[in-house]
Amino acid sequence: MSIKKILFGTSVMLVTVFSLNSCCEHGDENTDVVADTVQKTEIIKKIREELIINRDTITISDYNNVTDFENKHTPDITFGEKDEKGYVVINVLVGSAGIVHPSVEEHWIDFMTLFINGEQYKHIEIQNGEGSNKQDFFAPLKNGDVVKIVLGCNIHGIWESSVHYE
């Protein structure tokens, strides 16, 4: 069974559990449904853990001759406008020099962590599949702040990039 089918089935099961719990007077009637949902969730976690095979920290070996492999894993950080609350949108695309990291079931960015001035601001775990190579964060930045992204490729390790906000 594909991971997408398991994920879809689990999300349907979770909706079912919440729906049943909200409309039934006796929680005991939902025991089998809840047990099945928990079991499927555990299977998804196990499959995800098995696909994450590299936690080595990788760095660019020669900044004068960056390889396509290194470009593909380097976070490209750009900034959007401030919103009415003073938060800046931080756009992260995994890949640089026109080379974008794949985002498929077997090869994806499984987490991103945003640091501002060396302090962790936000950490997200990302499900495998489409869309893992692009994320937006919102943070209250001021000129001179150092913004760093650390991310994990499930196959090729942990990569990072940092820029100053101006």
CATH of residue 123: 2.60.40.730
**Looking at the structure, do residues 46 and 80 belong to the same domain, yes or no?**
no
Model confidence, pTM:
0.75
62 within domain boundaries: no
Residues 19-38, mean pLDDT to the nearest whole number: 64
Q: Do 73 and 23 sit in the same domain of this protein? A: no
Instruction: Flag whether 45 is in a domain.
Output: yes
Q: pLDDT value at position 92? A: 98
Query: Is 56 a member of any domain?
Result: no
Residues 75 and 155 in one domain: yes
Same-domain check for residues 43 and 118: no
Domains contained in the chain, number: 2
Record the tokens describing residue 25, joined without a space. 């007077």
Task: Say yes or no: 88 and 158 in one domain.
Answer: yes
Considering the domain boundaries, does residue 57 fall inside one? no
Mention every residue, 6+ apart, whose C-beta is less than 8 A from residue 120.
113, 114
Average pLDDT over residues 25-45: 75
For residues 60 and 14, the model is more confident at 60
* Structural domain of 75: 68-164
Each residue's pLDDT tens digit, 41-83: 888 788 888 999 999 999 999 999 999 999 999 999 999 999 9
The total number of residues written for the chain in this structure: 166
In a domain, 61, yes or no: no
97, 119 Cβ separation under 8 angstroms:
no
Residue 5 identity: K
